[in-house]
Amino acid sequence: MGIFDKIKQVAYYFSGGGANLQLIVDDSFVQKDGKVKVNILCHVNEQDILIDKLYVEIKAAETVKFRQKHPKHGSINGNSTSITYVNEIIVDENFRLEAKGEYEWNVEIFIPTGIAGTYRGINANHDWQLRTCMSKKGKNPESEWVMFIV
């Protein structure tokens, strides 16, 4: 292993560059079955990596727009966001991903009852989001947040 290989290894350790994650949501099942099917795709870069945990984060949040009167500045517009649901679903634990490998996991996530579905109002929205993450030494790879309709 040359000096440049060692530099790359350190860069992957700190940047989360050891793997690229993508989450794909199958929206067709959410309203029918009370669950959402997701597909996790992973591409490993140039180094094998040891994974402590692969998991999916799910959250729902309500955002309310408001206008507040201010004695000196007239009206001030603002937003307030409240998290209405958050959970972490473990997909797999303690495994190795080989360099330049392509991996895929299919997961069903159940949507709890009693939490509002997606809505869009004049002054309020309620949104559901998912992302997938890997827990490992160094910086953890993670996908982008993906919105879906409940």
Query: Which domains are assigned to the chain?
Result: 3-148 (2.60.40.640)
Residue 30: how many CB atoms within 10 A of its CB?
20
Residues in the chain: 150
pLDDT at 90 over 80: yes
Give the phi and the psi of residue 33 in degrees, each rounded to 5: -110, -5
Predicted TM-score (pTM) of this structure:
0.79
For 69-73, the CB contacts below 8 A with 24+ separation are none
CA distance linking residue 38 with residue 48, whole number of Å: 25
Compute the average pLDDT of residues 53-78. 87
- Tens digits of residue pLDDT in 105-134: 999 999 988 889 999 999 999 999 999 999
